[in-house]
Amino acid sequence: MKNPLNKKQTAAVKSYLRALLASAIVMGIALLTDMAPQYAVVIGALAAPAAKWADKNETEFGVGSSE
């Protein structure tokens, strides 16, 4: 199946989905545990860059980086 989005649009969608993942992690942690909200936010703030780092197709940094 051909991707109808160009490279820049695909990167924007992936960035949005990573932010959505991070906010879902924050909500899940805040609702399911008795943790203080500021700690849940810190964990969520680390989740999005970690997801980008783990994406082997990312060239900025991460597993697929050539550096």
Q: At what angle do helices 37-54 and 7-32 cross, to 10 degrees?
A: 150
- What is the tens place of the pLDDT at every residue in 12-53? 888 888 888 778 877 888 888 878 878 877 887 787 778 778
Residue 65's pLDDT is 45
> What residues contact 10, with CB distance under 8 A and at least 6 apart?
3
Q: Are 49 and 56 in contact (CB under 8 A)?
A: no
The full set of domain ranges for the chain reads: 22-52
Q: How far is CA 55 from CA 9, 18, 19, 35, 40, in A?
A: 17, 11, 14, 29, 23
H helix or E strand, kind and range, residue 50: helix 37-54
